[in-house]
Structure 1
Amino acid sequence: MTQPDWWYDDLKQVGLDFADEAQVATYDDRQGATVAEARRLLMRLGVGPSTAMADIGCGTGLLACEAAGMARSVRAIDISPAMLEAARARAGTARNIVFEQAGFLTFAASGDLGLITSQFALHHLPDMWKAVALTRMRDALKPGGRLYIRDVVFNCGPDAIPRTVESWIGHMTRESGYSRAEVATHVREEHSTFAWILARLITDAGFRLISREHDGVYAEFVAEAVA
């Protein structure tokens, strides 16, 4: 479907992580992502042989490929050809996983999914377009289907942003392969939002919040699509 000229282009590359092959190769290590952690999450979310799911912003496919061994079908969705190439290589001969170059505003909302997961991707959209993306994810889920989001989300008020951001930058430069400049670019040029805003966007999009947890500037939300 052709979109109007004011529609947000969610296929544009945002950040080195999406476009640069060298960055893609080290992405999982820098994120601290592991197969064991992915499997624990999928089990916690109740993924089983009857589950049809999508992972939006699938990155190198770590979660999606692990899900392919547990679920009926998996859609691995990302805007980056480099990320999708890495995900395809990881998937090997798995036949119940399909790869789609699309974003939150361009993926096909089929209405038959039981679960959508998205980690560290929604922050690439401004808040208005997060809201649109959330309604599209609701439409992609069957009634009662679940949404899992994990992202950088500021669990503070505006007055606390300076000390919160500086503390996060210190943590990232000590504990990961990210530089101060890279983290500062995230804060300055991408669209991480406040926890209270994201919670409201989720519920206003037609979801019932099941759980909400915060760990520093990271948050995860589990929600259910309202019939």
Structure 2
Amino acid sequence: MNSFPAWYFDESQMAGINFEDIAQVEAFDCKQTSSTPQKEQALVKRLGISLGHTVIDLGAGTGTFAIQAALEGAFVHAIDISQSMLAYAQQKARKMGASTIKFHRAGFLTYEHNDNLGDFVITKAALHILPDFWKMVALMRMASMLKPNGILYLRDAIFSFPISEHKTFIDEWIEHSSKPEGEGWTDKDYHMHVREEHSTFAWIIEGMLTRAGFEITQANYLTPTAAEYICIKIA
């Protein structure tokens, strides 16, 4: 195992949620309305993931995407910093018969890929745990895991609204997205996210992607507070 300098970012100190508490992991899985089996199956097909592909899923969480990719015949490396998340994902994978997933306890900054280079790297709703400096490090590491012309898919809370209007857009986001306790992400969850996590602006993440060696082929601003990117690793 690699050792890291004392100044290295500790991804295990995530804001807001104790992902080693299995009850919180189960609650997290229920709240993930953007990550249902049907939606993840549609994304797998949209990206063209199929038999024989190698997929690296960073921040795999409770494994819904990894399972759907495996059911299409891909070999999947599912990586997450939380052992409880991984255990929960493994249990789901066994129930679904998704046998071509290898689970790794690691993060964006610590995962060492020692297998075939990936055809796809996927990261959804996870990169925001890192400050921008460390996002750039993580994106460079992702590029190193991909084959030339391999695909990176990134989706996260990414801000495309005018900076001068940030208060209005953040308030509207929280007002329209938050749910009552027990039904999804609450206003307190969103407050914590904005206050303590590290979502960034689209123009910043797009500059990082380019500098990390990617060509952005699709940039979709899903809302003023969410975006997705499909990128090709430049050979």
Q: The TM-score by the shorter chain falls in which range? A: over 0.9
Backbone CA RMSD of aligned residues: 1.6
Q: Aligned-pair distance for 1:29? A: 3.1
**What CA distance in whole angstroms lies between the structure 1 residues aligned with 2:20 and 2:129?**
14
Residue 202 in 1 paired to residue 209 in 2? yes
Alignment TM-score, normalising by the size of structure 2: 0.91
Contact kept? 2:15, 2:196, Cα under 8 Å: no
What SS does the corresponding residue of 2:217 show, helix, strand or coil? Answer: strand
Match of residue 224 from structure 1: 232
Q: Aligned-pair distance for 1:173? A: 1.9
What SS does the corresponding residue of 1:95 show, helix, strand or coil? Answer: coil
**What CA distance in whole angstroms lies between the structure 1 residues aligned with 2:79 and 2:134?**
18
Amino-acid identity (%):
38
- One-letter amino acid of the counterpart of residue 200, structure 1: G
Gaps of 5+ in 1: none
Match of residue 187 from structure 1: 194
Equivalent in 60, 73, 76 of residue 74 of structure 1: 76
**What CA distance in whole angstroms lies between the structure 2 residues aligned with 1:56 and 1:14?**
18
Mark the CA change 1:35 to 1:70 in structure 2 (over 3 Å): closer, same or farther: same
Q: Deviations over 1:140-196 (max 9, x none)?
A: 001011000110011123211101110111122248622222110100000000011
Match of residue 96 from structure 1: 100
Contact kept? 1:113, 1:145, Cα under 8 Å: yes
**What CA distance in whole angstroms lies between the structure 2 residues aligned with 1:67 and 1:180?**
32
**What CA distance in whole angstroms lies between the structure 2 residues aligned with 1:172 and 1:18?**
22
What SS does the corresponding residue of 2:99 show, helix, strand or coil? Answer: coil
- One-letter amino acid of the counterpart of residue 24, structure 2: Q
Q: Aligned-pair distance for 1:23? A: 2.5
Q: Deviations over 1:186-224 (max 9, x none)?
A: 000000000110111111100000101012211101101
- One-letter amino acid of the counterpart of residue 180, structure 1: D
Alignment TM-score, normalising by the size of structure 1: 0.95
- One-letter amino acid of the counterpart of residue 98, structure 1: K
**What CA distance in whole angstroms lies between the structure 1 residues aligned with 2:18 and 2:120?**
25
Equivalent in 33, 36, 60 of residue 34 of structure 1: 36
What SS does the corresponding residue of 1:191 show, helix, strand or coil? Answer: coil
Contact kept? 2:21, 2:84, Cα under 8 Å: yes
**What CA distance in whole angstroms lies between the structure 1 residues aligned with 2:191 and 2:50?**
39
Q: Aligned-pair distance for 1:94? A: 3.4
What SS does the corresponding residue of 1:10 show, helix, strand or coil? Answer: coil
- One-letter amino acid of the counterpart of residue 99, structure 1: F
Length, aligned pairs only: 227
What SS does the corresponding residue of 1:26 show, helix, strand or coil? Answer: helix
Gaps of 5+ in 2: none
